[in-house]
Structure 1
Amino acid sequence: MTEIITLSRARRGQGGRIHAVEAIEANPADALELERRLLEFGLVEGARVQMIHEGPVGRDPVVLDVEGMRIALRRHEVRGLSLALTGTDAAE
């Protein structure tokens, strides 16, 4: 069974495929801009993603491997992305 979590809850080493993309910001204009940036980074539905680093303070920023490309984002920027965990990361 596939477990779906928000990418902001993922821990270092966890990975899967992007299930859904929705930018969450208080201002709708900011949400649209963030969603556009996430899509430009390749964070689209179905993309393979793995959390490869978490910052030491507040687990921020995070470094993601997105289809072989590494990007660093703030944890709040990825809270609207849902991740379908794969392999041993998914609950049995």
Structure 2
Amino acid sequence: MSDLEIIEDLYPELRFWFVDVPDKHYHGHIEGTDVYINCNQSNDDWIRTSLHEVVHYTYDRCNLSDGRSIATLRSEKWAVCESRRAFKRLFDY
């Protein structure tokens, strides 16, 4: 079982999709229960992005589309920190 499949099994309510976005700064995003991951990134980035978006799904209930909003910046920071903890919990043996 791949690492991404492990995450998919942990969150069966989410659907994970690969999208081809030729922008090295785009990693992924979530819309409702659909998680979009840039297939042009590395496998490690897919896992980290998936966990990051899972954190948004689990904890965020507001519109985070304004990248300059304090609420968005705080939410992004939280998602980064929490997804790092989740990555260590799942994959650091």
- TM-score in terms of structure 1 length: 0.29
Highest relative contact order (Cα 8 Å, sep 6+), 1 or 2?
1
User: Quick check: which one's helix share is greater?
Assistant: 2
User: Quick check: which one's strand share is greater?
Assistant: 1
